[in-house]
Amino acid sequence: MMKIISRSNIPVSVYRTRKGTVERASWDNKIEFFLSCVGYAVGLGNVWRFPYLCYRNGGGAFLIPYVICLILVGLPIFFMELSFGQFASLGPFTIWRVSPFFKGVGFGSIIISAMTAIYYNVVIAYALFYLLVSLVSFDGGVPWATCGNPWNTDACRTEAIKITDDMNETLKVNLTLQEMNVTCVYEAAAAIGQNFSDLNTTFLANFTDCNLNRQYKTPSDEYFSNYVLRLDLSEGIWDLGGFSPKLVLVLLLAWILCFFSLKNGVKSSGKVIYFTALFPYLVLIILLVRGLTLDGYYQGIEFYVIPKWEKLLDPRVWSDAASQIFYSLGPAFGSLITMASYNPFNNNCYRDAILVAIINCTTSIFAGFVIFAVLGFMAEVTNQPVEKVAADGPGLIFVAYPEGIARMPFPPVWAFFFFLMILSLGLSSQFAMVEAIVSAIADEFPKVLRPHKGKLTFAVCLGLFALGLPLVTYGGIYVLTLMNDYSGSYALLFTCLVEFIALSWVYGWNKFSADIEMMLGFKPNYYWKGTWMVISPLVIVLILIATAVKFSPSRYGTMVFEDYAQNWGWGMVSLPVAAIVITMVIQSIRYGGIRNACKSEPNWGPARPEDRHGRYAVDNVESGEKNKGFESDDPPPYVNGTAQSDQYLAEKL
């Protein structure tokens, strides 16, 4: 039988940090926290998704809905999570002392982080593989530059590929004759004994080697598909084949890098972040300068920035803008709460939130110039329009961009820098997700696990590595695509929506804004009140509806996954949602009703005794006796983040 918790007989000391409990770590300085936030927010999506969305949704015109959505939903949720985590100095599970009814939000966030970390590190492993290949190719060219390799097929082409979309049948026949192999030509001539000019489309269709609709591939495409992934050894998501030894090894290496960067928590990751957060900007600048010297770069830049104003009337454009802002800033993963929880109590997280959001936005725009300068060059040398070479996701960073690099002078050098940048972007986001998982568990059992956080980190990394092994099979890219499409979609939006409701409505705007005033010395203005309570939740609901309306089954290339695979995807969506709902039911029973479960725990407030003022003041941390002068829910006045306790107590007495 479940024990019902009564608040009346629980002393504050039950939840307090006592002697013998290892004190929680903190950032060595404010720069490390700020760079960690930048590194977390500025990830692979800024490079592989935003530029593609921008050109697809009206070029420069897309920036209007993008900035509006940043103001209406991106910045509000970002500041909310930073201030929430910094105030309580607790991980994603334990922080819901603020309202135990919503503790499932913490569970849901960590489930989302775990699923994302599993496939995200596989993408990092791909980048690591390309990086190592580039490193050993310095004495020659990169292996994806030519077609004469064991993994290439006769569909591989390095020369300019003619586009047949707008050709008439006669031109298609002529082009087919040019592309025929020797066997095909010989068989055709022997069969009819007449000139090729007499051949018609029907006749040619009888020769499979003379297919008019043959799909030609670039060397980089075949290198990624046939050598890196070995898709030829997998029939589809229903037949993943065996493990790819080289991918298993690089995935293991990626997790080893992650572990050693996090084994001492923020004390170690805070040092690594100087490189992983800053190095990508150096490479982006170098690649932009190089891109602007390539033939045809202007085609790509024009395609990227020229506004198509009529696109602003398309609801999908606004939906894409809101989704990109939402996913790039990374709320509801528990990572922002975790990183902020290691801050000093009075750190100016308000300033940090605004700066990181602006940096994230401008980095996305800047990365678009870098990407499309090279895509314009690709369009020039392959005699294709830009839209034919543009791509998003893994197809951009492992096929399209490497193909452009292969056509530059000294391709191994440019490939090395590009994939080192991708590795850095991926790791800085990965650090935050894994740290959120570790901190959530350690803070829930501080006396047992906090002294052994390094071992806990190892166990988490090992477990996530094991769960990621299906993604490094020969058909692992199908599983990765499925997880990418489903794991962070509806569940992420739902988790954020519940978080807004919990803090703005159930805990309440008045209390939450007073908590922020206690930290920062000023109360959030009406912009924050309006967005937190009404506008941002409404935008999230609209995104959910738009996402559902434009839903299409998950696919890889032209392969649409079977229904049972789509059901696996919906299972991933349901896990975080179920965690939230089931926990609500359990907490309601434990606390004797929903109303009691929604009330804050007696120990809710700043984790450090020296930061507990006003209604959070405790005379004796060991005995748990509250300062009777501050039992009222009415917060005392603050000046520069310090409670005016003497005056307030005199007035109360």
Break the chain into its structural domains and give their ranges: 7-140+226-590, 169-215
Confidence (pLDDT) at 636 = 41
Say how far apart CA 205 and CA 212 lie, in whole Å: 7
| The residue type at 624 | G
**Which residue, chain included where needed, has tokens 């748990």?**
624
How large is the C-alpha radius of gyration of the chain?
28
Q: Are 427 and 124 in contact (CB under 8 A)?
A: yes
Q: What whole-number distance in Å separates Cα of residue 576 and Cα of residue 496?
A: 11
Q: Residue 607: phi, psi to the nearest 5?
A: -70, -30
Q: How far apart are CA 623 and CA 618, in angstroms?
A: 9
185 in a known ligand binding site: no
Residue 245 confidence (pLDDT): 97
| pLDDT of amino acid 304 | 87
Q: Is 234 annotated as a binding residue?
A: no
Q: Are 496 and 332 in contact (CB under 8 A)?
A: yes
42 is in an annotated binding site: yes
Q: How many CB atoms lie within 10 A of CB 307?
A: 14
Distance CA 47, CA 391 (A): 11
Report pLDDT for 460.
98
Burial class from Cβ neighbours inside 10 Å (0-12, 13-18, 19+) for residue 535 reads middle
Query: Would you say 48 and 393 are in contact if contact means Cβ atoms under 8 Å apart?
Result: yes
How far lies 408's CA from each of 129, 279, 378, 512, in Å? 21, 22, 10, 55
- How far is CA 626 from each of CA 10, 239, 517, 614, 632, rounded to the nearest angstrom? 12, 62, 21, 11, 11
Which tens digits make up the pLDDT trace of 129-176? 999 999 998 888 899 999 989 999 999 988 655 444 444 444 444 444
Q: What are phi and psi of 626, to 5 degrees?
A: -80, 150
Which tokens sit at 198?
């007499």
Q: What angle, 0 to 180 degrees and rounded to 10, lies between the N-to-C axes of helices 266-291 and 30-41? A: 50
Interval 438-449: pLDDT, tens: 999 999 999 999
Give residue for tokens 């495409």: 221
560 marked as binding residue: no
- Residue matched to tokens 């991933």: 572
The DSSP output letter for 582 is H
Per the CB < 8 A criterion, the answer to whether 554 and 569 are in contact is yes
Q: What's the pLDDT at 451?
A: 92
Question: How big is the CA angle at 74 (ends 72 and 79), to the nearest 5 degrees?
Answer: 105
- Give the long-range contacts of residues 179-184, CB within 8 A, separation 24 or more: 179/214, 180/209, 180/210, 181/154, 181/209, 183/209, 184/209, 184/210
Name beta bridge partners: 643. 638
Q: How far apart are CA 56 and CA 370, in angstroms?
A: 17
Give the Å distances, CA to CA, from 646 to 615, 629, 651, 652: 13, 10, 9, 10
* 113 annotated ligand-binding residue: no
Coil, strand or helix: which one is 330? Answer: coil
Structure tokens at 540: 């999230």
Listed as ranges, residues in the chain with pLDDT below 50 are: 1, 8-19, 162-199, 201-212, 620-653
Architecture of domain 7-140+226-590: Up-down Bundle (1.20)
How big, in percent rounded to 5, are the helix, strand and coil portions of the chain?
Answer: 70, 5, 30
Alpha helices in 591-634 (DSSP H): 594-598
Whether 429 has a binding-site annotation, put simply, is yes
618-620 vs 625-626, strand pairing mode: antiparallel
The gap between the terminal CA atoms of the chain, to the nearest Å, is: 44
Nearest to 121 by CA among 470, 573, 464: 464
What pLDDT does 642 receive? 41
CA distances (Å), origin 494, targets 108, 220, 443, 577, 595: 10, 39, 24, 7, 22
360 assigned ligand-binding residue: yes
Q: How far apart are CA 380 and CA 8, in angstroms?
A: 75
336 assigned ligand-binding residue: no
pTM of the model: 0.86
487, two tokens: 């794991």
CA dist list (Å): 504 to 105, 305, 575, 635: 15, 38, 25, 17
Report pLDDT for 630: 34
What is the separation of C-alpha 195 from the centre of its chain, rounded to a whole number of angstroms? 58
Q: Which residues are 217's β-sheet partners?
A: 156
Q: DSSP states of 436-495 as a string?
A: HHHHHHHHHSHHHHGGGHHHHHHHHHHHHHHHTGGGGBTTHHHHHHHHHHHTTSHHHHHH
Amino acid at 207: F
Q: Helical H runs in 297-410?
A: 297-305, 315-329, 335-341, 349-382, 386-389, 394-395, 401-406
